[in-house]
Each structure stands twice: as structure tokens, then as C-alpha cells.
Amino acid sequence: MTDDLDKSTFERSCCPIACALDYLGDKWTLLIIRDLLLGKKRYQELMASPKRIATNILADRLKKLEASGLVIQQAYQQKPVRYEYVLTKKGEDLRPVLEALVKWGKAYFPGVRFLNPMNKD
């Protein structure tokens, strides 16, 4: 169904891509969602990704993800209360987007570790 991406879709005055990117269009949000899809739940797990996100940015993105209904907090202990972060259905439903990105990334950066000097992983 290749014409999900057609003119009429786009010309409605709010394009679903533009709307989606209001939530996802930055450097970190999709990487956090990737980690959550892979089963990470806790702050330290999310901090531990190969690409090091600054702690204030992670905290900020988690707040925004919660505010936009992609993620919920669940307490996993009391004293002190600590939360883990779990994707809602809305968040889970981004899996195909990430999968499409994986496919593209694999096709065009198969050995990127050695080719891309910008890569700090």
C-alpha cells in the first residue's frame, strides 16, 4: 500500500508526518523508544545506552513522552518510590517505524562503525 504517502494525505492542512514529528522529531526521542521497545525500563538502563544521553535530557524526554501518552510510569518499589517506564499502545505502535528505520540503516550502514568518524558508539 505504497500510496499512504499521497498528495491528499499531505495536503490536509495537518500532515500526519508533521504531527508525528512534533513528538518524535529530535535527536533522542526515537532512541529512547527503541530502548523501551527492546525491554529497557529503568532510568539507569536507559542511561546506559551506547550513545550517551545527558541525564537532564533523558529526564525531560521521559516527561514529554508521558505527557504525550507514549509512555507511562509504573512504581516498582516504595521507600523510596521508584518508577519504571513502559510504552503504551500508542508507543508500541511505533514499532513498524523503528523497524523500517532498522531496515534502511542496515542497508546503508552495514559496517558504519569503521566508516563514520562521527560515530561515538
Q: How far apart are CA 111 and CA 59, in angstroms?
A: 32
Does 72 bind DNA (CB under 7 A)? Our answer is no
CB atoms within 10 A of CB 119: 12
The distance of closest approach from Cβ of residue 80 to its own copies in the complex, given in angstroms and rounded to an integer, is 30
Beta bridge partners of 73: 85
> Cα–chain-centroid distance for residue 39?
13
For its own copies, the binding residues (CB under 8 A) are 1-2, 4-7, 9-10, 12-22, 24-28, 30-31, 34, 37-38, 50-51, 90, 93-109, 112-113, 116, 118-119, 121
16 binds, among DNA, its own copies, none (CB under 5 to 8 A by kind): its own copies
Coil vs helix vs strand at 112: helix
Under the rule (CB under 7 A), what is the footprint of DNA? 26-28, 42-45, 52-57, 59-60, 62, 79-80, 82-84
